[in-house]
Amino acid sequence: MVVIKKISFKDIPQLVHMHYDPSMYTFDPDTEKVISEDIAKQYIQKAYKTWEDGTTFIFSIYNLEKEFVGFITLRDVIKHSYAKIGFAIAKDHRGKGLITAAIQKTIKYAKDVLGLKIIEASVHKDNIGSQKALVKNGFTKIDRNDCIGKFKNDNNYSIYQFII
pLDDT of residue 71: 96
pLDDT of residue 29: 67
pLDDT of residue 31: 78
* Residue 140 domain boundaries: 2-163
pLDDT of residue 90: 94
The conformation of residue 43, written as its DSSP 8-state character, comes to H
- Write the CATH number for 40: 3.40.630.30
pLDDT of residue 24: 78
pLDDT of residue 152: 82
Count other Cβ atoms within 10 Å, centred on residue 124.
16
In the 3-class helix/strand/coil scheme, how is 14-42 assigned residue by residue? HHHHHHCCHHHHCCCCCCCCCCCHHHHHH
**Residues 119, 111, 83, CA angle at the centre, nearest 5°?**
25
Asked whether 70 and 98 are in contact (CB, 8 A), the reply is yes
Domain count, the chain: 1
pLDDT of residue 21: 86
Name residue 73's amino acid. T
C-alpha 142/C-alpha 36 separation (Å) is 37
Distance of CA 125 to the CA centre of its chain: 17
Asked whether 35 and 16 are in contact (CB, 8 A), the reply is yes
The pLDDT profile of the chain, 164 residues, written as one tens digit per residue, is: 999 999 999 999 999 999 888 887 777 766 788 889 999 999 999 999 999 999 999 999 999 999 999 999 999 999 999 999 999 999 999 999 999 999 999 999 999 999 999 999 999 999 999 999 999 999 999 999 999 998 888 889 999 999 99
Asked whether 56 and 83 are in contact (CB, 8 A), the reply is no
